Amino acid sequence: MAVKFSQTDFTKIPWNDIEMVGQWTMIHRDLFNVSWLLGRYCNYSCSYCWPYASTKKKDWRSEDMVLLTLDEIKRQARQRGFNSFHFSFSGGEPTVVPTLVPLLDSLRDDIQNCNWVSTHLTSNISRKLDWWKQYVEVTKDFHRVSITASYHKEHVNDERKRSDFATKLEYLQSQDVQVTINSVMVPERFDELWEDANYFHERGINVTLKPQSDPTASFVVDGYTEEMMKILHNGLPQQDFTERKREVVRPQSKFPRMHAINGQHYQIEMKDKHGETWRLDQAERFNSFGFNRFKGWECSSGYRSIIIREPDGSIKRSYSCSDKPLGYIDKGFSLFDSPMPCVTETCVSSADSKIPKRQPSSEAKLWSI
């Protein structure tokens, strides 16, 4: 039976003493991180989706434009000493965007010139299995491939569809694609969502339990009981399910794989003011602990990490960053020349929280490479 609660009690982390935090792969590799929202077009229409988060208008960029942007990102990153790349693609629904595969092709063709190349996809997994087989083929030479599967019960609304959703994810895991299912644990539907989460977990698929945020995504909503918070704090730890199931193994690089400890993965590394190291299995837990306020901290977003957001093509430090854009796809952009202070009250997105950052008084290293 899959483990339902973390072997590490994350409530024991001295959150008030933490002075450096970062994603493990960015601390221990020369990794440049790109989160690319390819467009808002989505083939689903969910009743609870924010109005600005999806559209039925096909709003993606031309292939020539996105490939030129990709080349410019790499040029500026290499100029700053980074030659490993992680590209995370989202939407809308990125698998219906025609420029996705050309972007992956271009990344694959440049692997021999890089120290490390990985990619991530956030998808509703609505494409048929044959499409996912093509995706596996085009990404087979990447050092790491991962997917966040967005589980939408309005569309996966019966047992056959739920099983089909899981079967596609099990296939991806067999091809050494790291998988986790995103589940927003709405307080009013918590028991139902917890049952679904356990169904997937028992099938050997990781589930990320996300607390629901207020409409401005500034804080976790009210309504969670003490028992619910215990689940959000330590429930369904990220385990090495893919390692147990994979039938193929991806190419290796000079950098080691991020191995599990006693079967559990730890994505985040932190240092406290005494120099002690602490680990967290997934960045989403930051929000459940209220640890997402870093204003004034020295942050490497904008220097070795950016997000690209459509439909305006803005290129910013982070999803929730209050700073002005670094530029635009069609007008050009410039990365920072060094890590800069955080200017934002709250890191709304866990993708922002895990970018290496430290308190201004800290002597902890932002990365070891």
Return the DSSP state at 96: G
pLDDT of residue 47: 67
Whether the per-residue pLDDT at 216 is higher than 70: the answer is: no
Eight-class DSSP state of 186: -
Q: pLDDT value at position 2?
A: 66
Structural domain contains residue 180: yes
3-state secondary structure at position 69: helix
Dihedral sign computed on CA atoms, order 193, 287, 6, 22 = positive
Residues 194-213: tens digit of each pLDDT: 999 999 999 999 999 988 87
The whole model's pTM is what? 0.92
123 has which bridge partners? 149
Which pLDDT score, from 0 to 100, does residue 269 have? 95
Note the pLDDT of residue 184: 83
The percent of residues in the chain predicted with pLDDT above 90, rounded, is 74
Pairing of strands 305-309, 314-316: antiparallel
Is 333 contained in some domain? yes
In a domain, residue 5? The reply is no
pLDDT at 1 over 60: no
pLDDT at residue 221 above 90?
no
CATH number of the domain that residue 323 is part of: 3.20.20
pLDDT at position 278 is 96
Gap between the Cα atoms of 119 and 159, Å rounded:
30
Beta bridge partners of 177: 145
Q: Give domain status of residue 1, yes or no.
A: no
Binned at pLDDT 50, 70 and 90, residue 48 comes out as: low
Work out the angle at residue 305's Cα, subtended by the Cα atoms of residues 268 and 292, and round it to the nearest 5 degrees: 45
Q: How many angstroms separate the CA atoms of 38 and 26, rounded?
A: 23
Residue 316 falls inside a structural domain: yes
pLDDT, one tens digit per residue, over 228-278 is 999 999 999 999 999 898 999 999 888 877 778 888 999 999 999 999 999
Residue whose C-alpha is closest to residue 146's, from 68, 257, 253: 257
CA 302 to the chain's CA centroid: 17
| Residue 6 clears pLDDT 80, i.e. is over it | yes
For residue 213, give the DSSP letter: B
Cα 29 from Cα 119, distance rounded (Å): 15
Residue 40 has pLDDT above 90, yes or no: no
Please tell me the distance from the alpha carbon of residue 236 to that of residue 296, in angstroms, as a whole number: 33
Name the residue among 223, 179, 182 with its Cα closest to residue 46: 182
Q: Is residue 330 part of a domain?
A: yes
Strands (E), the chain: 18-23, 31-37, 84-90, 116-123, 144-150, 177-185, 206-211, 268-272, 277-280, 298-299, 305-309, 314-316, 327-328, 332-333, 340-341, 357-358
For residues 306 and 34, the answer to whether their CB atoms sit within 8 Å is yes
Per-chain mean pLDDT for the chain? 92
Q: How many domains does the chain have?
A: 1
Say what the pLDDT of residue 258 is. 75
At 324 the pLDDT is: 93
For 112-160, the pLDDT digits (tens) are 999 999 999 999 999 999 999 999 999 999 999 999 998 887 888 889 9
Contacts of 92 (CB under 8 A, 6+ apart): 37, 38, 39, 40, 41, 42, 53, 54, 55, 59
Q: Are 268 and 354 in contact (CB under 8 A)?
A: yes
158-179 residue pLDDT tens: 899 999 999 999 999 999 999 9
Question: Alpha-carbon distance 249 to 243, whole Å?
Answer: 9
Lowest mean pLDDT among 60-64, 179-183, 252-256: 252-256
For the four alpha carbons of 333, 64, 35 and 30, in that order, the dihedral sign comes to negative
347 domain residue, yes or no: yes
Structural domain span for residue 119: 10-358
Q: Per the domain annotation, does 364 fall within a domain?
A: no
